[in-house]
Chain A
Amino acid sequence: MYTLSSKLKLTAIILVIVGAIGLVYGFISTPSNEEELKELLAADAHGEHGAEHEEASATTEEHGTAVEADHAASSEGHGETAHGEGEHGDSHMEHLLHQFQTKPWSAIFVSAFFFFMIALGALVFYAIQYVAQAGWSPVLFRVIEGVTNYLLPGSIIVVLIVIFAGTHFYPWQNHELVEEDVILQGKSGYLNFPFFVIRAIIYLIGWNLYRFISRRNSLAQATATNLTPYKKNFKASVFFLLFFVITETTMAWDWFMSMTPHWYSTLFAWYIFASIFVSAITVIALVTMFLKKAGHLEFVNDSHLHDLAKFMFAFSVFWTYLWFGQFLLIWYANIPEEVTYFIIRIEEYNLLFFGMLVLNFIFPILMLINSDYKRIPWFVMMAGVVILIGHYIDIFLLVMPSTVGPNWSFGITEIAGLLFFLGLFILFVGTGLAKESLYPKGNPFLKESENYHY
């Protein structure tokens, strides 16, 4: 039995508290009207940092159509028409104010989604292992179940954020904007608030239901005399995977693509899935190594680690494949309404945008190609941390350019969001792991898994 050490528990609680304070500060320090925003900008302008911002907003104005189209979508409709002449200054300030007010929302959402997707991805990995009747992984099932223990709180928080974020994230929720916009009117059959909420709740229930059922069956198998719970889990996993592939697709459209409602890409949902999946496998590997080192998983050997590291490697490459597929096709065809997505990311987030590729692709491919290295815990740990940082940036880049545009920063609020959810994640995963024996007794492939050597 694993018990969450009081030291780790205390650390997690401190992270949560510090994070919460930082987030509250983030919301309080947001300018509530244009006067405050002007003061903020004036104060900032003295520092180097502020200059950067000014420059950023200046660039935005220069790049007429492309970036503006994106703004029209992400702001509350002070895009093309208002930007044109006359009341330019006012509408620009209003637009800027909205982006500044969105900043703490975005910061909290990026971190909330990042940790939530780890739990969700782990659940998918778990279901796949069941459906594939994998012979190597059953020894890791309790570990994965521990990671998915964060799913319930994580998903509730994420769903609450997307429901209450309103026009901070989703410009199509602004009625005035929709009235002026023929394209958004055309989409209102899908992009309307009640349906949006219903969908979010369906995802929430479906994902958590499978987590609940599979955990219950998995525990029941430990004491069962036949394989009924295992067989039930097999079936549940098949249906969960079906449910997941559809809901993940619509989730990606709902929560991310509709942040810039004029923009669309058919690959988008699968691209987000790759990020979810590789991060989850990485965390499973990290938690396994942590528990193994603490002496709780004597039935796990370095072959299991080797396999996890192979998955980290392979899905890092897979993520890159999808990233590149989407980027290349949009860059190549260069259709104006599509390229806005990448123009803002390359112009305003250049270092992050390309740096992410180094972290998510070049680093893992170099570090994890050697099979001896894939068996060295600290080495996999190092690669894992890099991959996780890379995918945090990936989520950051999904959200920030669409919501706050060029006015992004990585400051107290963003760090506080990370700390808060990291603390929460450690707490829930830790208590999840501590609930039951880490030895998944009764699984029909357990002996195969224990004897597994590669």
Chain B
Amino acid sequence: MSSHYEAPIREPLVTGEKTYHDISVEVGAPVLGRANKTWYIVFTLALIAFLWGLGCIIYTVSTGIGVWGLNKTIGWAWDITNFVWWVGIGHAGTLISAVLLLFRQKWRMAVNRSAEAMTIFAVVQAGLFPIIHMGRPWLAYWVLPIPNQFGSLWVNFNSPLLWDVFAISTYLSVSLVFWWTGLLPDFAMLRDRTTNEFQKKIYGILSFGWSGRVKDWQRFEEVSLVLAGLATPLVLSVHTIVSFDFATSVVPGWHSTIFPPYFVAGAIFSGFAMVQTLLIIMRKVVNLQDYITLLHIEYMNKVILLTGGIVSVAYITEFFIGWYSGTSYENYTYLSFGAATGPYAWAFWALIICNFVVPLTLWVKKLRRNILWTFIVALVINIGMWFERFDIIVIDLSKGRTPSSWAMFSPTFVDIGVFIGTIGFFFVLFLLYARTFPVIAQAEVKTILKSSGEYYKNLRAKHGDDVAHHVDNDP
């Protein structure tokens, strides 16, 4: 591991005069304390939305897909849009925990836990759509290659929709394991700190008897690194496979080789926007401003700028190659002159404004470090990335190769209700998480306290790099 020395030019990642004890107390507080009224109100709202969505899902499955706004031309619309959107959001979590771990970014430590939680909950939402958008979801188990009584009738491994099954299920399980391993020392901290017998029992079970021995830590680090090394290609491949759903086809606008990396960049872009949205509120509500600092927000904004830039280059590429190809069909794709002026022009411009124009403001340092503005931009990006997927799916399908089958799409209340339901479900899970899980990886933050904590950095600035880091008030 890298040495403890850190260049003075780096800004501190933990502000205030924190000790190890302070970290335990402050991270444990929301879990060990009681929820306030606001939490109950928000939770109830989320629960209602979830139940409404559940009703819509039951209605769809029991009545038929015809209750959605789909038609013969546009067979995929809100269902797959929401699916790709949720999967995309889930990617930032793994990016923060895995990719940033590989790049040894210390700032990830304050945000990785919540980002991973967001991943898990977002993938759960995403996972609903492939099932409920089926005409006969009760036969969904046929997608699995299991020996059966139809003369061992198997699946066709050539379909990207089947690859999706493997990708998403692998992604969910690996993310879950990665998240849980990281939680062990933190659950153990809660187990040891709580005075409530019931909580002690629960966290005792959840922490798998973690006792924090040297050998355990050594293996813990190795497992984290190996999982990070595996999760990184996993993130790339999962969203790549999602992009294959479109790119392997011959639909103009869908068949584009740039889709795999471009979807991945878009996923990170939208995922980070969602992390911003959640963390900006959370740091305030549970008093973690010393750990999730302005610097963290700025760093995340920089990642948003980077991935947003990559996505913009991809837009330009799509637009250019659409023209360059000389194919007349390419003029009706989601990034073309036809789309900018056609019946879906509003969706086209929503995409351009939300994903390209508004994020450009983050180039200004003042705005990048402005929490309110960051929050607004993050919301706008979430909307914009929803439109990106909507545009790719619906605009490209609406004007295919045969003009006689051109059609428009409008959603029904069930389409919208299911989407709202998943948002509700997501927040139900996230709110429960924020009350019961340590939302900051305290064990990890403790490893950077002395190299990147404000107090210790000041100490070194005053007394030189070799000053002793003893703190007497540490219990």
Contact = CB atoms under 8 A, between A and B. Distances in A.
Contact of B9 (A183, A266, A444): A444
B2 interface: yes
A453 interface: yes
Interface in A227-283: 227, 242, 245-246, 249, 253, 264-270
Interface stretch (A142-150, A153-161, A328-336, A374-382): A328-336
B261 A453 contact: no
A135 B258 contact: no
Given A186-B326, A448-B7, A335 B2 contact: no
Contacts of B258: 266-267, 270
Contact of B255 (A133, A329, A451): A329
Nearest to A313: B229
Contacts of B50: none
Contacts of B249: 333
Interface in A331-348: 332-333, 335
A325 interface: yes
A377 B71 CA distance: 62
Contact of B317 (A269, A322, A329): A269
Contacts of B310: 245
Contacts of A132: 103
Interface string B226-263: 00000001001100100010011110000111111100
Contacts of A249: 313, 316-317
B241 to A, nearest CB: 11
B231 to A, nearest CB: 14
Contacts of A253: 320, 324
A349 interface: no
Given A335-B250, A448-B6, A330 B313 contact: no
B325 interface: yes
B7 A329 contact: no
Given A325-B257, A333-B249, A453-B3, A445 B324 contact: no
A232 to B, nearest CB: 15
B471 interface: no
Interface residues of A, number: 41
A264 B325 contact: yes
B321 interface: yes
A265 B261 CA distance: 13
A6 B2 CA distance: 39
A266 B7 contact: no
Contact of B5 (A182, A325, A448): A448
B309 interface: yes
A454 B255 contact: no
B248 A245 contact: no
Interface string A294-337: 00000000000000000000000100011001101110110100
A447 B7 contact: yes
B1 interface: yes
Most buried by B among A227, A265, A267, A332: A267
Nearest to A261: B324
A183 B330 CA distance: 14
B257 A266 contact: yes
A43 B103 CA distance: 58
A65 to B, nearest CB: 17
A267 B320 CA distance: 12
A164 interface: no
A170 to B, nearest CB: 14
Given A187-B326, A190-B324, A264-B325, A445 B255 contact: no
A268 B321 CA distance: 11
A353 interface: no
Contact of B2 (A187, A268, A270, A454): A454
Contacts of B309: 242, 245
B213 interface: no
Given A190-B324, A325-B261, A333-B255, A317 B9 contact: no
**Secondary structure of the A side of the interface?**
helix
Most buried by A among B236, B237, B313: B313
Contacts of A321: 233, 236-237, 240, 260-261
B470 interface: no
Contacts of A212: none
Contacts, number: 97
Most buried by A among B247, B256, B314: B247
Contact of B1 (A136, A270, A326, A454): A454
B463 interface: no
A335 B324 contact: no
B326 A266 contact: no
Interface in B312-333: 313-314, 316-318, 320-321, 324-326
A245 B256 contact: no
A253 B321 CA distance: 10
B49 to A, nearest CB: 37
A270 B256 CA distance: 13
B10 interface: yes
Contact of A335 (B8, B255, B317): B255
B250 A268 contact: no
B5 A451 contact: yes
B321 A264 contact: yes
Contact of B257 (A135, A329, A445, A452): A329
Contact of A329 (B244, B313, B325, B326): B244
Interface string B1-22: 1110111111000000000000
A332 B81 CA distance: 23
B7 A444 contact: yes
Contacts of B259: 266, 329
Nearest to A230: B9
Interface in A341-371: none
Contacts of B314: 266
A293 B324 CA distance: 50
Contacts of B260: 267, 321-322, 325, 329
A333 B250 contact: yes
Contact of A326 (B7, B10, B257): B257
A454 B255 CA distance: 43
A267 B313 contact: no
A445 B261 contact: no
Interface in A7-22: none
Given A187-B324, A444-B9, A330 B2 contact: no
Contact of B326 (A183, A246, A325, A451): A183
Contacts of A335: 250, 255
Nearest to A267: B257
A454 B103 CA distance: 12
Contact of A266 (B103, B248, B318): B318
B168 to A, nearest CB: 19
Contacts of A268: 257
Nearest to B258: A266
Contacts of A332: 248
B10 A322 contact: no
A259 B321 CA distance: 15
A245 B7 contact: no
26 contacts: A133-B10, A135-B6, A136-B2, A187-B324, A227-B9, A245-B310, A246-B313, A249-B316, A249-B317, A264-B321, A265-B257, A265-B321, A266-B257, A267-B260, A269-B317, A321-B233, A321-B260, A322-B261, A325-B260, A329-B247, A329-B260, A333-B248, A444-B8, A448-B7, A453-B1, A454-B2
Interface of B: 1-3, 5-10, 103, 233, 236-237, 240, 244, 247-250, 255-261, 309-310, 313-314, 316-318, 320-321, 324-326, 465
Given A187-B324, A266-B257, 15 more contacts: A136-B2, A265-B321, A269-B317, A270-B258, A325-B257, A329-B247, A329-B255, A329-B257, A329-B260, A444-B7, A445-B9, A447-B5, A447-B7, A448-B6, A453-B3
Interface of A: 132-133, 135-136, 182-183, 186-187, 190, 227, 242, 245-246, 249, 253, 264-270, 317, 321-322, 325-326, 328-330, 332-333, 335, 444-445, 447-448, 451-454
Closest 4 CB pairs between A and B? A266-B258, A267-B257, A325-B260, A183-B326
